[in-house]
Amino acid sequence: MTKSVKTNLLLNTIYTISQVFFPLITFPYASRIMGPTGIGQVNFYNSIISYIILFTSLGIPMYAIREVAKVRCDIVKMNRTVMEIFLLSSFLTFWGYVAVAIISIFVPEVHSNVSLFLVLSSTLLFDAIGCNWFYAGIEDFFYITIRGLAFKIISIFFLFYFVHDKQDLLLYGIYYILSSVGSNVFNFVRLRKYIHKENFIFSELRPFRHLRASLEIFALNIITSIYLQLNTVMLGFYNGNEAVGLYSAATKLMYVVLMISNSLGPVIMPRVTNLIAEGKTDDFMKIIQKAYNFSYALTLPLSIGLFFVSPYAVRILCGTEFEPAITAARIVSPIIFIVSFSGFMGTQTLYPMGKVKIIIACTAIGAAIDLLINILLMPSLSFNAAAISYLGAETATSLSMYLIAHKMIPVKFINTDVIMYTISAIIMGAGLFLISFLHMGDIAQLITMLIIGSAIYLGILLWKRDKFAIEVLEVLKSNMLIKSFRFDH
């Protein structure tokens, strides 16, 4: 039986916070051991592999979540759908490894450390057998959370025990695989609980019937990848591994915070899809309005806060060797808020409504902006150009999506709650600006900003008796996440 949305949100946020917490432990250690060049090489190779995965997975993961959510109440249809999608994914993964072999032989930048590249390429196999889309589609977030936490702990022990100097780059690559996709082996084994061969006839399966619909998502993914992966690849060829390492450090901070703000998306999308499939329009409208207000209240102060704490966080987490990344970290900080806005309109609302072509068109606009800025600025501004292009791409995507589709989405974008969140975040930003003039150590400065910034923002909202702030206070009292936030229909 499917759990309530607030329970799923609790579980998914616990898992997301673990994804934030563990890099805070591991990245400072790894960045000091590997340095910008080592971190840059791993990220450079991983960006190439991400492109291979992009083509081998097509749009299957996102498409599959929607399809599983539609048929999860019919065990026979669900079994058939899952097996067909799995077979399609396995077929495409084979061709992915053909690409890995060709790149390993003929690309000099890869051939110089082919063993590391091959280790990182195991992501293809683990992605194919993991079927994360299935567990998200049936909303089994308890399993996702427990499995994820277990492997994060295992990977941390591996990192500290085996990786000690720059010569351990291959072992760092193994750690990277363990921490990101290693747990997918258990996903595959656990499928036996849900998928039973008596529910389908193998010869009657038609895996390629899913190809056309997944290609729509593939078009979206390949456009999005221009500013998610191509920035790193172009940096590697234009400016070398050190520039990639500095850019990775700058965006690492943003991605860490972005994980928290994005915890709502994987929970809302399958539930909204199921509500639309069952024709429950009123429930659909209630959920997305609350989801929008919640995302706005959370991500705007996070973006502003990251801008001010970036100098101290970069030095603490990565070391003084990464100080040049501070400017780039500040440039990308607004992306947290911008991405939550486009994610709400796109994957949480328009995609379950079947409006994929609008998302593709708007993302294409962002990708064009990204590519243009990179070509013009990257030769001279290096990793700062990549940060500017990333921000420009996300801004263009969100703005175009709003202009084209805001009338289709039954949400009041400007409301009294949103105005209050905006005012409170601006006042918080002013407070952080004043604190930045204090001359304390990096750790003391960072802690002071986090405490005072949170106190200012939540204090204003509590003074105004805002629902979001009251619910956060309840979380602190009860040690449960969003106990009274009623996403349930």
Q: What is the pLDDT of residue 284?
A: 66
Q: Is the pLDDT of residue 314 over 80?
A: yes
DSSP structure class, residue 198: G
- Any idea which residue has 């995609």 for tokens? 351
Q: What is the pLDDT of residue 108?
A: 84
Nearest by Cα to 16 from 266, 329, 301: 266
If you compute the radius of gyration of the chain from its CA atoms, what whole number of angstroms results? 22
**Cα 431 from Cα 113, distance rounded (Å):** 48
pLDDT digits (tens, 9 = 90+) for 218-248: 777 777 766 677 788 888 888 877 888 888 8
Which residues have C-beta within 8 Å of that of residue 153, sequence separation ≥ 6?
none
431 vs 465: which has the higher pLDDT = 431
Q: What is the pLDDT of residue 137?
A: 76
Confidence label for 470 from pLDDT (cuts 50, 70 and 90): confident
**Cα 336 from Cα 479, distance rounded (Å):** 25
Tokens (6 digits) for 215: 């290609």
Supply φ then ψ for residue 158, to 5 degrees. Answer: -60, -45
Residues 246, 383: contact at Cβ < 8 Å?
A: yes
Confidence label for 58 from pLDDT (cuts 50, 70 and 90): confident
User: Average model confidence (pLDDT) for the chain?
Assistant: 81
**Cα 71 from Cα 100, distance rounded (Å):** 35
Q: Is the pLDDT of residue 271 over 80?
A: no
Q: Is the pLDDT of residue 481 over 80?
A: no
Nearest by Cα to 187 from 229, 151, 235, 217: 151
Q: Is the pLDDT of residue 477 over 60?
A: no
**Cα 440 from Cα 454, distance rounded (Å):** 19
Tokens (6 digits) for 471: 């619910």
Query: Which amino acid would we find at residue 152?
Result: K
Q: Is the pLDDT of residue 485 over 70?
A: no
| pTM listed for this prediction | 0.67
**Cα 170 from Cα 176, distance rounded (Å):** 10
Nearest by Cα to 453 from 473, 430, 475: 430
pLDDT digits (tens, 9 = 90+) for 118-152: 999 988 988 888 888 888 777 776 777 777 788 88
Angle at 245 between CA 243 and CA 248, to 5 degrees: 110
Q: What is the pLDDT of residue 479?
A: 43
Please measure the distance between the N-terminal and C-terminal CA atoms of the chain and give it in whole angstroms. 15
**Cα 450 from Cα 306, distance rounded (Å):** 10
Q: Is the pLDDT of residue 24 over 80?
A: no
Tokens (6 digits) for 193: 């609980």
Helix (H, G, I), strand (E, B) or coil at 95: helix
Q: CA separation (Å) from 234 to 242, 325, 345, 346?
A: 13, 17, 29, 27
Residue 284 C-beta-side C-alpha neighbours within 13 Å: 19
Q: Is the pLDDT of residue 486 over 60?
A: no
Helix (H, G, I), strand (E, B) or coil at 333: coil
